[in-house]
Chain A
Amino acid sequence: DVKVTQSSRYLVKRTGEKVFLECVQDMDHENMFWYRQDPGLGLRLIYFSYDVKMKEKGDIPEGYSVSREKKERFSLILESASTNQTSMYLCASSLGTGGNIQYFGAGTRLSVL
């Protein structure tokens, strides 16, 4: 079974803090993704990576950065957390191109106070 593990289920941070969300997959997938999920807005892509050290902006990259130093690990970084970044963050991984399945982690619910 494919496993995508997100380091925290719940996280509470203060405005201005630097926040790291970690994601690890165990299936040697080349693609990894970070989404945020908000009620009524569905999932929106923040960043994705199709290879180690490669990254591409998604639809809402502002205020975020990512790091992929190893194939199995993809980190999302909030350089200076703000209250409007309070959300559910989902990590996913997949093989290859378009028609393949994305496998999701359980999510990290981040609250920025």
Chain B
Amino acid sequence: AQSVTQLDSQVPVFEEAPVELRCNYSSSVSVYLFWYVQYPNQGLQLLLKYLSGSTLVESINGFEAEFNKSQTSFHLRKPSVHISDTAEYFCAVSPMNTGFQKLVFGTGTRLLVSP
């Protein structure tokens, strides 16, 4: 079985400051890793994912995440946040060895960007 821990339920930050949202996971098998974002009153949408290869993955809007296998982490970072980044961010994993897809989500981190 898999589990995902997002220790920070809320992260307040000022506009243009850097931010890191932490994600740790536990799994007995190899996993794919995802970050999803939920803007107010919307469903979730994919921000970025790690499947294989380079451990650093980037999104089109300036976020990046690094897969660290030894620390079983997949932290999300952005060097300079905007007001529009205010949203809830969910880390998720999916086991590689199953014949179907099943995502396990963390409890989410609410990013609050203020001017």
Contacts and interface: CB of A to CB of B under 8 A. Distances in A.
Interface of A: 4, 31, 33, 35, 40-45, 48, 50, 56, 58, 90, 92, 94, 96-107
B49 A99 contact: yes
Shortest Cβ-Cβ A-B pairs, 8 listed:
A104-B43, A42-B107, A43-B105, A104-B44, A99-B32, A99-B51, A98-B94, A42-B105
Interface of B: 6, 9, 32, 36, 41-46, 49, 51, 90, 94-96, 98-108
Contacts of A103: 45
Nearest to B45: A104
A75 to B, nearest CB: 17
A108 to B, nearest CB: 10
Nearest to B32: A99
A48 B105 contact: no
A56 B95 CA distance: 16
Nearest to A102: B103
26 contacts: A4-B43, A31-B101, A35-B105, A40-B107, A41-B107, A42-B105, A43-B44, A43-B90, A43-B103, A43-B105, A45-B103, A48-B100, A90-B44, A92-B44, A94-B101, A97-B100, A98-B32, A98-B94, A98-B96, A99-B32, A99-B49, A99-B51, A99-B94, A103-B45, A104-B36, A107-B42
